[in-house]
Amino acid sequence: MTDQELISNIRIVPDFPIKGIQFFDVTTLFKNPATFEEVIQRICALYKDKGITKVAGIESRGFIAGAAVAARLGAGFVPIRKPGKLPARTVSESYAKEYGTDTIEIHSDAITEDDVVLIHDDILATGGTAAAAISLVQKFNPKAVFVNFIIDITDVPRTAPFPDGVQLDSLLHLSEN
C-alpha cells in the first residue's frame, strides 16, 4: 500500500478544535481494515528489533494503534492519560500546546528501569504533548525511549524541544497548507 493510499483515508477537518487549526482525523484511517492493518504493520516493522517491552499510548487516539502494536510486539501497553483518569498513584507532566496548556499522567508503577519504551501518538504538530510524554517516561529511567507518530505535520513550528538520544519516527509527513 502506498503513502498516498493511506493519506486518502485521512479526513481533514478545518477549524477543529479551534479556528485556524486544520485537524487530521485518523479515525477514518482506522475504520478501513486495510489501512489500519497497514499502519500497524509499518509501525511494527520499525521497532520489531528494538526490544520494546512497553508501548505507551497517548490519550486518546494513541491508544488505538498503540495497543495493537504492543500486542504484535509482545509488549505491555501503558496509557498516558489526562489528569484524574487513572485509578492508582500517578506521575504527571504539564506542557503548553498550540491552543492552551495541558497535563498528562502515567501510573507510578507503569515503567521500570529494565523497560524499552515506545511512545505512540497519532499526530506530531507543535511537539508539546510528545515532549511532555518523553519527559514523563524518562522519569522512570528506562533503558531506551523511542517515539512514533502516524502523521508528522511538517509545516507547524515545533515549540517544544525533544531530548537528544530519543529516536523519533513518523509514517507520513503532511502539511497543513
| Candidate list 5, 59, 89, 98, residue with the active-site label | 98
| Contact yes or no for 39/67 (Cβ under 8 A) | no
The residues that bridge with 81 in the sheet, in sequence order, are: 105
| Candidate list 61, 81, 93, 105, residue with the active-site label | 61
38 flagged as catalytic: no
Write out the DSSP string of 90-149. Answer: EEEEEEEETTEEEEEEEETTS--TT-EEEEEEEEESSSHHHHHHHHHHHTT--SEEEEEE
Gyration radius of the chain's alpha carbons = 15
Closest CA to 44 of 66, 69, 62, 67: 69
42 flagged as catalytic: no
Q: Hey, which residues are catalytic here?
A: 61, 98
